[in-house]
Amino acid sequence: MLDAVLRAFRLPDVRQKILFTFAMLAVYRLVAHVPVPGVDVARLQDLFATNQLLGLLDLFSGGSLTTFSVAALGVYPYITAQIVMQIMQPLIPQLAELQKEGEAGRTKMAQYTRMLTVPLALLQAYAQATILAREGIISSFGLFNRDTFLPTLSLILTLTTGTMFLVWLGELITEKGIGNGISMIIFGGIVSRLPATVAQSFATGINLIILVVMAVVGVLMVLAIVYIQEGQRRIQVQYARRVRGNRVYGGGTTYIPLRVNSSGMIPLIFAASIMLIPGTIASYFQGAQTDWVRNFATQVVNFFGATGFGYWLMYFLLVVGFTYFYTNVIFQQQNLPETLQKQGGLIPGRRAGRETSIYLNRVLNRITLLGALFLGAVAITPYFLGLATGSQQLSTTLSTTGILIVVGVVLDTMKQLESQLMMRNYEGFIK
């Protein structure tokens, strides 16, 4: 692999793309260290130690949220906008038609996604500013009162602008660099946090045995993720021959690759977000004057505190459920049975149309079961490791979502470099 990297650098155009990607990631990390004024950083870090919802958002901001920089929101609003647009396509026929219009339709969908990102970023910026103000972390001013309207508006607009700037950087990487730009931005943030995470683990007195366990489990998880991510069921498709005059068109055999895990990391994000919302809302009522309201809110916060078996069991079930849901959404958008019928493709032993659709759905549901159970097992691995080793640091240090993102981005980037080298008759990365 290292030899292939050296050969890639000898190609001027590939070397330019790689260097451009690194340059954009450097710009991103530079912006991530530009702080927003008026924030008590020490109290902010204490809040992150107890609030898992902010910790999830910090994962996508690359650690910028812990210092509340201008890039504190990261690209999370854009990811949310993408998910919303994908879910809305089956519900809004106009969006489904746009997806079928080729490059022009995809360009229009990307424009709508960017437009949706702006209000989502504004809402998230206001929500985070509200949490910080309630905790006394924004010490210099309050929110939207008579004296602080302009400073508050400036804070929210600054955070929103930071998000859109990162989206722009990601699109530049996609266009002129290597890999998917948004994924590379998230990847750069996660990797940049790794040294600080390791140093913090040593500072808290983690022993050598636990560190070795974390390393071994991390390597095994990477191997398992690669195996499942690359796993697929290939469905044979035969195309009928068509004779026009003296020429024969079509014919031959190909395959439809149905992936074991078509949804990637999205089910983990959905499930984690759903599990964190009740505890976050209940925390606002812990100071209520009514006893039963205060007691109920405390019980909800304790249950959703990610420390009990019930929480992790519900998390596992949500991950499995969302895996099936999102895989079905993606499959319906592809509309494979109709595409095969239009192109003259036929699955051996299956009639075109409804019977083909039923067969593909049945196969997809069977292989998705393995992918869903795997994602669920990956999601709850830190909890059981914490029970086995007696260290709850594993549940925070060993981020399964982060590992999935890193492995997925690396695989995607390797495949793109593979295609670049194959076009020039070089031996690729993946053998």
What number does CATH give the domain 207-390?
1.10.3370.10
Does 140 have pLDDT greater than 60?
no
Express as a percent the part of the chain with pLDDT over 70. Answer: 78
Q: Greater confidence, 281 or 305? A: 281
First to last CA, the chain: 10
Mean of pLDDT values over 119-125: 88
Q: Do domains 1-205 and 207-390 have the same CATH topology?
A: yes
Whole-number average pLDDT of the chain: 78
Task: Locate the domains of the chain by residue range.
Answer: 1-205, 207-390
CA-based nearest residue to 326, from 399, 244, 402, 271 = 271
Does 62 have pLDDT greater than 90?
no
Gap between the Cα atoms of 131 and 49, Å rounded: 14
**pLDDT of 425:** 59
**pLDDT of 54:** 62
Does 426 have pLDDT greater than 70?
no
| CA-to-CA separations, 379 to 198, 371, 382, 400, in angstroms, rounded | 21, 12, 7, 6
State pLDDT tens for residues 4-45: 667 777 778 888 888 899 999 999 988 888 888 767 777 777
Mean of pLDDT values over 363-381: 87
* Token digits of residue 50: 């107890």
**pLDDT of 168:** 93
Gap between the Cα atoms of 390 and 150, Å rounded: 49
**pLDDT of 63:** 65
Mean of pLDDT values over 114-128: 87
Gap between the Cα atoms of 271 and 54, Å rounded: 15
Label residue 267 by pLDDT band (50, 70, 90): confident
**pLDDT of 264:** 77
State pLDDT tens for residues 83-92: 788 778 777 8
Label residue 189 by pLDDT band (50, 70, 90): confident
State pLDDT tens for residues 213-232: 777 877 888 888 888 888 88
Label residue 57 by pLDDT band (50, 70, 90): low
CATH architecture of the domain with range 1-205: Orthogonal Bundle (1.10)
Answer yes or no: are the C-beta atoms of 340 and 346 closer than 8 Å. yes
**pLDDT of 20:** 92
Mean of pLDDT values over 157-169: 91
Answer yes or no: are the C-beta atoms of 58 and 73 closer than 8 Å. no
Gap between the Cα atoms of 265 and 273, Å rounded: 13
Highest average pLDDT, of 112-121, 175-184, 275-284, comes from 112-121
Gap between the Cα atoms of 326 and 261, Å rounded: 10
Answer yes or no: are the C-beta atoms of 367 and 373 closer than 8 Å. no
